[in-house]
Chain A
Amino acid sequence: MTASKKGVVKAEEGEIYDVELSEDLLKANQRLADENKRLLHENGAKAIDIMGAIGSGKTSLIEKLVQLLKNRYKIAVFKGDLTTTIDAELIARHGVETVAINTGKECHLDANLVKKALQRLNLKKINLLLIENVGNLICPAEFPLGSDKRLVVVSVTEGPYMIVKHPFIFMDADVVAVNKTDLAKAMDVDVKKLEQDVKTINPKTKVVATNARTGEGIEAIAKALGL
Chain B
Amino acid sequence: MTIGKLTFLGLEQVRFAYDALTKDTIMEGSKLIITEQEGMVKCGTCGYQGDFKYADDPLYHVPVPTLKCPKCGSTVNIAQGKECTITNIKMMI
Contacting residues, chain A, for B92 (C-beta < 8 A): 14-17
The verdict on A13 contacting B55 (CB below 8 Å), with A20-B88, A168-B8, A200-B66 known, is no
Q: Say whether A202 contacts B67, CB under 8 Å.
A: yes
Q: Say whether A164 contacts B64, CB under 8 Å.
A: yes
Range, interface on chain B: 20 to 34
Chain A interface helix/strand/loop/mixed: mixed
Pick the most buried of B6, B65, B66, B78: most chain A CB atoms within 10 A of its CB: B66
Would you give the 0/1 interface string for A1-41, flagging 1 where the beta carbon is closer than 8 Å to chain B? 00000000001111111111111111000000000000000
Q: Say whether A11 contacts B93, CB under 8 Å.
A: yes
How many inter-chain contacts with C-beta < 8 Å in the A-B complex?
Answer: 84
Pick the interface stretch among B15-23, B24-32, B79-87. B79-87
Tell yes or no: A201 within 8 A of B by CB.
yes
Contacting residues, chain B, for A141 (C-beta < 8 A): 8
Tell yes or no: B73 within 8 A of A by CB.
yes
Tell yes or no: A189 within 8 A of B by CB.
no
Pick the most buried of B67, B73, B84: most chain A CB atoms within 10 A of its CB: B67
Q: Say whether A21 contacts B87, CB under 8 Å.
A: yes
Chain B interface helix/strand/loop/mixed: strand
Cα–Cα, bound, A141→B20 (Å): 27
Q: Say whether B74 contacts A203, CB under 8 Å.
A: yes
Contacting residues, chain B, for A126 (C-beta < 8 A): none
Tell yes or no: B75 within 8 A of A by CB.
yes
Q: Say whether A16 contacts B91, CB under 8 Å.
A: yes
Min CB–CB distance B48 → chain A (angstroms): 14
Q: Say whether B85 contacts A24, CB under 8 Å.
A: yes
Cα–Cα, bound, A199→B64 (Å): 13
Cα–Cα, bound, A21→B66 (Å): 32
